Amino acid sequence: MFSIISWVSLGLVLAGIVMHRFVSPSPRLAKREASEAGGDRPWSGCCGGKLSTMACAVALGSLVILFVTGFGGRLLLGEQIHGYTLMMHVGFAPVFVISAGVVVVAWGYRCRLNEYDRRGLASLLCLKKTDPADTVDLGWKLTFWLAMGFVVPVSLSMVLGMFQVVGTHGQELLISLHQYTGLAQTLVVLVHIHLVIRRKAVCP
């Protein structure tokens, strides 16, 4: 069941990214609409500085390794993680957690929701028509915080599973939690990367 859910969710997210690229307004049009609606706001994306860039590269690289080692055998061969693959997975897990923490510290201020973002989010939640200037930065900021939030259940589920305090059934639940939250985090990161690249095309 997990393999089916993984393939379907990955396919849907990738298809959604492709559709968004071709169906949504072009970057030039989005930039012009945002400028006319709310002024030409400078691009203040989650980037800048050597520390931020390095932390991003380490976090993203370790996430790719964790995904390949954790899901590769399961999705392609139907095998559980074991042997050297398991050792590599466990070895890169703390690297990802630490680098993700650095990313939050280095990028958190740039990815905060400002007045425009909060107003756009409120309009979306109330199913009202949104101003282009209020939503131009909302997507990548929300996906950033959502991806960082998933670090907590992904890491804690495995840490707690190492201790004999939850029992056999509890450990099975923790493994399932680790798998599904890890999958969800990967999907959110894919969407975030797509939105950041698209936003940079609007305001390089």
pTM above 0.85, yes or no: no
pLDDT at 43: 45
**Within 10 A of 191 (CB to CB), how many other CB atoms are there?**
19
Please report, for the chain, the start and end positions of each structural domain, with discontinuous segments joined by +: 44-202
Q: One digit per residue, pLDDT tens: the chain, 204 residues?
A: 888 898 999 999 999 999 988 877 554 444 444 444 444 444 444 545 677 788 889 999 999 999 999 888 888 887 888 888 889 998 999 999 999 999 999 888 888 888 877 877 787 778 777 666 656 778 888 999 999 999 999 999 888 878 777 777 888 889 889 999 999 999 999 999 998 888 775 444
pLDDT at 34: 46
pLDDT at 130: 67
pLDDT at 151: 93
- How open is the CA angle 171-145-154, to the nearest 5 degrees? 15
pLDDT at 125: 78
pLDDT at 49: 66
Three-class secondary structure assignment of 44-60: CCCCCCHHHHHHHHHHH
pLDDT at 82: 82
**Within 10 A of 117 (CB to CB), how many other CB atoms are there?**
19
| Residue 141 near residue 117 (C-beta atoms within 8 A) | yes
Which of these, 37, 152, 179, lies nearest to 29 by C-alpha position? 37
CATH of domain 44-202: 1.20.950.20
